[in-house]
Amino acid sequence: MRRISVLLLFLLFIASTASGDVYKYIDENGVICYTDKPFGKKTQAEVVYKEKKAPVVNQRPEKSRGIKTDYSHYVQKAALKYEIEPELIHAVIRTESNGNYRAVSKKGAMGLMQLMPSTANDMNVGNPFNPEENINGGTRYLRFLLEKFDGNVTLAVAAYNSGPTTVERYGNIPPIAETKQYVNRVFTLYNGKRSYAVSDSAVDYQDRPAQIYKVVLEDGTILFTNSALERKGKLRF
């Protein structure tokens, strides 16, 4: 059974936006469940996220959504580890999130390098909103894509946006407007080499996405689980 840390990532995001606690259950069949409110069951719940009450302060609206924190140290560390130019990593960060470590896309991509939950899980990223973990995971994924596409930076960048399967299908940058714009944006920011040497020891990564299920119960409780449940309102991510 695949690790279910990705479930917790979803719930941490929900808890942070919906302002609530998160509870973990393991039912009689061994199915792991996360909810936003305790069940009225004998099974004891474990609180895995506790809402923090933030103090009320006077805040001015942000004038700019640009990069406000220097993540160069984390970028340099990941660049050395995975043998990728730091300029490429910075370009992806700027294109993906513009330096906002709390960014979440409509599709659920998270953090500085906008990791999808399944990718974060496979890259061993426990908290995608932690800048160091996110940069390490995103750079590791970039290295995997470079190995997969024989060091071709253009195809690797395109695959970072549209997925490796889509790039393989077309054998080039997919004819998708979003992906074309994405690649152009990255290369506008990045002024480096167009190909990387590949090795026989490609980064271990599974294309197979994690299977996650969301259930909204009759009382409005939100439930995430790693097992398909025969309940109304089931959605598969």
Domain ranges of the chain: 5-53+209-236, 72-189
| pLDDT at 67 exceeding the cut of 60 | no
| Mean pLDDT, residues 21-28 taken together | 68
User: How sure is the predictor about 53, in pLDDT bands with cuts at 50, 70 and 90?
Assistant: very low
pLDDT, position 137: 97
| Rounded distance between C-alpha atoms, residue 110 and residue 123, angstroms | 13
HSE on the CB side for 222, CA within 13 Å? Answer: 13
Q: What is the pLDDT of residue 123?
A: 95
User: Does pLDDT of 122 surpass 80?
Assistant: yes
pLDDT bucket at 119, cuts 50 / 70 / 90: very high
pLDDT, greater one: 35 or 127: 127
Report the 10 Å Cβ neighbour count for 43: 11
If you average pLDDT over residues 41-53, what whole number do you get?
54
More confident residue, 143 or 223: 143
Q: Which CATH architecture has domain 72-189?
A: Orthogonal Bundle (1.10)
> In the chain, pLDDT over 70 holds for what percent of residues?
55
> pLDDT at position 81, please?
96
Alpha helices (H) along the chain: 5-18, 72-82, 86-96, 117-122, 131-148, 153-162, 164-170, 177-189
Q: Tell whether the model's pLDDT for residue 70 goes beyond 70.
A: yes
Any bridge partners for residue 34, and if so which?
Answer: 24, 224
Residue 26: per-residue pLDDT: 73
pLDDT tens per residue across span 156-178: 999 999 999 999 999 999 999 99
pLDDT at 183: 95
Residue 181 has pLDDT above 50, yes or no: yes
> Which residues are catalytically annotated?
96
Q: How many residues does the chain have?
A: 237
pLDDT at position 50: 55
**pLDDT for position 194:** 79
Q: What is the rounded CA–CA span in Å between residue 116 and residue 102?
A: 13
pLDDT of residue 166: 96
| pLDDT for position 189 | 95
Task: Give the residue-averaged pLDDT of 74-98.
Answer: 96
What pLDDT score was predicted for residue 58? 37
Span 184-217, pLDDT tens digits? 999 999 987 777 877 654 455 554 444 455 566 6
